[in-house]
Structure 1
Amino acid sequence: MGNSYNRQRILILITFLFIPLGLLGLFTYYPAVRLLYLSFTDWDGISKTVNFLGLDNYKEVFTNPDLFGVFIHQIPYVLGGVLQNIVAILFAVILNSRIKGRNLFRVLLFVPYIMNGVAVAFMFQYVFDTNNGSLNALLGMAGLSSLQHSWLGDTSLVNFSLASVSFWRYMGYTMIIYLGALQSIPGDMYEAATIDGANRFQSLWYLTLPSLTQVIQLNMFLTLSGALAVFDLPFVLTKGGPVGSSETFLLKTTETAFTFNNYGLASAMSIVLLILTVVILLVQNVALKRRGDA
């Protein structure tokens, strides 16, 4: 009787494990292995014949400035992401205090994140419009006509304009994460710091920020990986223009696959993006760990 029960129990456990593991392998690991394999080929997405190219696709990614060089267009997103985290921490500290209407301000800052990304892009299309845009209209009303620009048509400004949209959309989400972390810090620590004569800045620098090290690490990873994988804003607002100045690596990868039917090269670009994300994560972990230990 006991042996039969144990066999049934083991069979049930194996059955319940097999289904999620099978789905995980089918929809995660198999596509990943397939992607890695295709990155060494010249598959065009249609033909059944596949030629093995070795590392030629990877060499093309790193040596062709039209491919790897587009990462320079994503520097404004990285800078905006770092600034986004700084501002989010400041807002989290302010809204963690006992001020009137703090819940309303939290909601107002978080609302942009829950908005649809395409809807946000179309909304800012009217903000940045050269002739009828609200931004240029506001500058004109303020007597700052000299600052009016073609925000999405100027090659030197387009990426900063797009990065500002990302800043506006994700700052509230980042703030909420920091706010939750702040509320987990015991209040006794701040009371002890106040008794010892610490002012607000010293409490922030020597108490709050070290306590947020792991959360900062998480948010910076999300920010930097998001900056590397920007797609929706330039795709909707500029299509990579003007003159390819707002193309991102992911946008270039999509174009390589679906426009030029070079799925092998696009697969290699995807693997490179994954490797860069892992490298940035490792470097960030080391840097923030040293800061936390200090």
Structure 2
Amino acid sequence: MRALTPWTFLVVPLAFLVAFSYVPIVNMVVYSFTDWDGISPDYTFTGLDNYTEIFTRRELFEVFLTSLYYLGASVIQIVLALYFAMVLSFNLRFRNLFKGIIFFPYLVNGVAIGFVFLYFFQPGGTFDTFLGAFGIGGGHLWLGDPDLVNYSLAGVSVWRFLGLNFVLFLGGIQSIPSELYEAAEMDGANRRQIFRHIVAPMLRPLIGLSTILAVSGSLSVFEIPYIMTGGSGNSETFVIQTVKLAFQFNKTGLASAAAVVLLLLILLVTWVQRRLVPDRRTEIS
């Protein structure tokens, strides 16, 4: 009975996990081999036709180019998060206030953020007014110009997800024994040298985790561009395209195949990253 006790507490969460995660994934894989329209109770198995269509239709994969904007934004996001975490790990005035300001956007619902920035990027709106204070005039179509829209949306993603990486890095920095900092300061090391020889090696696993999250997030971005532009003006992502295939064009089988491809691609990227940068503790130099 003692051995069964832990499982009695796990029955309910495991049941929810299977019912709402694993079963839908299995159904998605099954539907990817059919021509199901998402409405009719009947469907026909088509083999690999959906996957063949995905890999032979160029426009279905061109949307991955949009992910490059978010990948570049993720790099900026990681660098900024690491910088702020390093600065705010020292004893500064109002550092708790600044921590809250940086982390707060991550707590806000993504839909609310999308609507807020819709007004922020309106021609002649808040952002144009801010730029006008520095002599940069003109009502730019930040969300309507195909050359600007992805930069605007990627900037919103940096603002929203900066807090997540910031908290991860800050926790990692604060977990480093204080004796290492004291020894480095006694040896005359400045903050740049402390970061290079102590902080960076100790944060290597967290930086690897942030890289995985950045790549997978840039491939599966959906919420912000869908709310703000609906995928128009060259801002369509692979997930937005998949949703349109399922619910706008009633091609649920093809959309399921696209979702499976995206899942496999994220798993492949994660595996490659883990092979190139193994998760092992780095010795401090």
Output the TM-score relative to the length of structure 1.
0.89
Structure 1: give runs of 5+ residues left out of the alignment.
1-5
> Could you tell me which residue of structure 2 aligns to residue 105 of structure 1?
98
User: Identity of counterpart residues, as a percentage?
Assistant: 45
Find the partner of 1:215 among 206, 209, 212: 206
CA shift at 1:27, angstroms?
A: 2.4
1:73 and 2:62 are equivalent in the alignment: no
Q: Distance in 2 between matches of 1:232 and 1:15?
A: 37
Q: State how many pairs are aligned.
A: 283
CA shift at 1:286, angstroms?
A: 2.5
Alignment of 1:182-197 (within 5 A): 182-197=173-188
CA shift at 1:191, angstroms?
A: 2.1
CA shift at 1:288, angstroms?
A: 2.7
> Could you tell me which residue of structure 2 aligns to residue 59 of structure 1?
52
Change (3 A) 1:134 1:11: closer
CA RMSD of aligned residues (A): 2.2
> Could you tell me which residue of structure 2 aligns to residue 168 of structure 1?
159
**Whose Rg is larger?**
1
Deviations 1:208-243 (A, max 9, x none): 01101111122222222221221121111111112x
Output the TM-score relative to the length of structure 2.
0.91
Change (3 A) 1:14 1:196: closer
1:253 and 2:242 are equivalent in the alignment: yes
Find the partner of 1:154 among 122, 129, 145: 145
Structure 2: give runs of 5+ residues left out of the alignment.
none
Aligned partner letter, 2:44: N
Aligned partner letter, 2:56: T
Q: Distance in 2 between matches of 1:233 and 1:42?
A: 30
1:142 and 2:134 are equivalent in the alignment: yes
Q: Distance in 2 between matches of 1:125 and 1:22?
A: 40
Q: Distance in 1 between matches of 2:170 and 2:6?
A: 40
CA shift at 1:181, angstroms?
A: 0.9
CA shift at 1:140, angstroms?
A: 2.2
CA shift at 1:23, angstroms?
A: 3.6
Deviations 1:38-63 (A, max 9, x none): 11111111223322121111122122
Please tell me whether the aligned partners of residues 96 and 182 of structure 1 are also in contact (alpha carbons under 8 angstroms): yes
CA shift at 1:22, angstroms?
A: 3.8
Q: Judge which range, 12-21 or 202-211, deviates more.
A: 12-21
Deviations 1:238-262 (A, max 9, x none): 11112xx000111001000000111
Q: Distance in 2 between matches of 1:189 and 1:43?
A: 61
Aligned partner letter, 1:221: I
